[in-house]
Amino acid sequence: MTTASSIIPRIPLDEWANSFVDYMTDSFSGVFNVINDIMTNVIGALEWLLTTPSPLVMVMILVALAWWLTEWKIAAFTTLGLLLIISLNLWEASMLTLSLVLASTMISLLFGVPLGILSYRFDRVRAVVSPALDIMQTMPAFVYLIPAVLLFGLGNVTALIATCIFAMPPAVRLTLLGLQQVPETTLEAAEAFGATEWQKLIKVQLPLALPMIMSGVNQVIMLSLSMVVISSMVGAGGLGAEVLRSISMLDVGLGFIGGIAVVIIAIILDRMTHLAAQKKRSAQSVR
């Protein structure tokens, strides 16, 4: 009996992928070591910044930031949520998770926003970037961990690299969308006043696209937080490690309090970035 596998030849895509990773590991090990050192320093600096002050001082700083960016209700929730994390003895783990999220967000925006601008300006760049973003967004999150472990080893750096790949697409897409939504009449007015292409981008397009870019920041943070927890499987610390430990020990209570801490951080970050974007959008509509 003839089967489909006997008619259609097998494509050794898995072997090609393995060969590519082996080639990258053998040929660019020095580059990956440098990247590893840089990422380690970035994570260490953020963790030091968040953990050096006493927890109560850090709570006051974060509450003040929440009040300034949003409103008193979010500041009150931030106060109660962070005090609960301290009472659960999860402060150090939470700050490590927060440092990983902040680092991955900064790196994702550092690459994502310029890619969005280039995609807006050049059709060829958009033609290449769009399918790449589709793959990055639809590929299962666990798949990113395998090549990252082979290239960078176990630990926080692997979690950071995989998280950046997983979380970057919203930054690119929403930057592109924000620039596309800038009214043509506004651009024509800027050209009438003699603005150069660079001046239009910096002084007109990016400020008008900022609310949409802030929405992209919000999505990047949420995706980063979810991926950082998953990355505990490859040796990342923080709250994800607590959740993974609870699974290995079948400890429901430990898993519950670790999940609660993740939810608190997620709500605080989500509300701060979401309401900050709303305020910016409201200010632009008033103008």
Residues 72-89, mean pLDDT to the nearest whole number: 90
Give the distance from CA 125 to its chain's centroid. 22
- Reported as a pLDDT band with limits 50, 70 and 90, residue 80 is very high
Spatial neighbors of 257 by CB under 8 A, at least 6 apart, are: 88, 90, 242
Query: What is the tens place of the pLDDT at every residue in 254-270?
Result: 888 888 888 898 888 88
HSE-up of residue 223 (Cα within 13 Å, Cβ side): 25
Give the distance from CA 91 to its chain's centroid. 21
Average of per-residue pLDDT values in the chain: 83
287 pLDDT more than 60: no
Closest CA to 159 of 101, 236, 222, 92: 236
Residues 200-219, mean pLDDT to the nearest whole number: 85
Spatial neighbors of 56 by CB under 8 A, at least 6 apart, are: 86
Question: 79-83, 202-206, 237-241: which range is least confident on average?
Answer: 237-241
